[in-house]
Structure 1
Amino acid sequence: MKYSCFMTGPENTSDPASYRLHDRLGFRVSRLAAVMRASLDAELSQLGLTRLEWCVLASIALEGITAPSGIAENIGITRPTASRTFKQMRDKGWLVQNLTEGDGRARAITLTEAGQDLLARARVLVDAHQARFLDKLDPQAAAHFLSALDTLLEGVHDRFDDP
């Protein structure tokens, strides 16, 4: 017996009238993601920053991840996408890539002063953006929602080029 998302009874798969696109989990999650992505893109663009660049800044400065492969893994992007993004950000003067001590091949990425300043300004926008959505829920509902998202994402390790 199949159960439709957000519905209490079994889904009648033979009755086309029982299907409502707007009741589907995938549609709802995709719609929320698209709305959040578009509004955050607009806000970050005021600083000349993309979401992907924000994710790199946050991974380095807020999560302490400095290895290029670790940053790519954290964000969920491919290594070539990460390399292009690091180059663009180096060209803008936001980060530097240095050899790590003890291993002449390993690299560590750190933020420049300009990158740290940009991070601080962007963090205000990103935090306010998240609050505009989560503040619609009471704290317990927000915690349950985020926990449910974690459960749905469990075991998913896909990489994608548009975080």
Structure 2
Amino acid sequence: MQFLAEGTEDDGETPALRRAARSNDWAGTGLRDRPGFLIRRLHQIHTALFMQECAGEGITPVQYSVLTALDQMGPSEQIAISRAVGLDRTSTADVMQRLEKRKMIRRRTSPKDRRSKIATLTEVGEAVLARIDAAASAAHTRTLEPLDPEQRRALMQAMRRIVDTYPDLERKSF
């Protein structure tokens, strides 16, 4: 199944971009016509750019998202953070444990439900966020840099639409 025929008028690619794509090992495999493959590669590229920009802190994009969510939401139950960031419960608990070990968050048992944990951003976590916000923003900018402003807007709009169409799907464990 081909989603966009290579070299078509509306694919938005210049001859230079097509040559660059063909120079990749995967270019001749048909993978570049599969949305899932391209999304996975884009995620890998963004993660690498994020790690370059934020190298000094040793924070992953997911950890940054959790810290940002806690900063914006205030003290929250882990399940609320899980929903906000789009992680399953197990992954959220793992990320929270790593952040707690590094003293970026504090967790306590909820007084309303002993099975539930409430996470709070610590001063260490706040300081890390303050130090890396600009670097994380630079990674986001670098990710979209190959696109012109209209293409950036269109890509962001398309990604939001896809994510909004399947609000709970990413949190399911398969």
Query: What TM-score do you get using the length of structure 2 for normalisation?
Result: 0.70
Q: What's the counterpart of residue 5 of structure 1?
A: 3
Match of 2:84 among 51, 70, 74: 74
Consecutive aligned runs of 4 or more in structure 1 exceeding 6 Å deviation: none
Is contact 1:59-1:65 (8 Å) kept? Answer: no
> Which ranges of structure 1 fall in alignment gaps of 5 or more residues?
9-18
Is contact 1:22-1:28 (8 Å) kept? Answer: yes
Instruction: Tell me by how many angstroms 1:58 deviates.
Output: 1.0
Is contact 1:65-1:71 (8 Å) kept? Answer: no
Matches within 5 A, 1:2-151: 4-7=2-5, 20-64=30-74, 66-98=76-108, 103=112, 105=114, 107-151=117-161
Whole-angstrom distance in 2 between the partners of 1:36 and 1:139: 18
Amino acid in structure 1 at the alignment position of 2:160? D
Is contact 2:88-2:170 (8 Å) kept? Answer: no
SS at match of 2:120: strand
Whole-angstrom distance in 2 between the partners of 1:104 and 1:35: 40
Instruction: Tell me by how many angstroms 1:160 deviates.
Output: 6.8
Offset from partner CA, 1:7-48 (integer Å, 9 cap, x none): 36xxxxxxxxxx833233223222212111222234334212
Q: Percent of aligned pairs with the same residue?
A: 24
Q: What's the counterpart of residue 170 of structure 2?
A: 158
Whole-angstrom distance in 1 between the partners of 2:48 and 2:35: 20
Q: What's the counterpart of residue 11 of structure 1?
A: none
Instruction: Tell me by how many angstroms 1:125 deviates.
Output: 1.2
Amino acid in structure 1 at the alignment position of 2:82? A
> Which ranges of structure 2 fall in alignment gaps of 5 or more residues?
9-28
Is contact 2:107-2:118 (8 Å) kept? Answer: yes
Whole-angstrom distance in 1 between the partners of 2:66 and 2:100: 12
Give the total of aligned pairs: 150
Query: What TM-score do you get using the length of structure 1 for normalisation?
Result: 0.74
Instruction: Tell me by how many angstroms 1:140 deviates.
Output: 2.5
Whole-angstrom distance in 2 between the partners of 1:141 and 1:82: 33
**Range that drifts further, 27-36 or 41-50:** 41-50
RMSD: 2.9
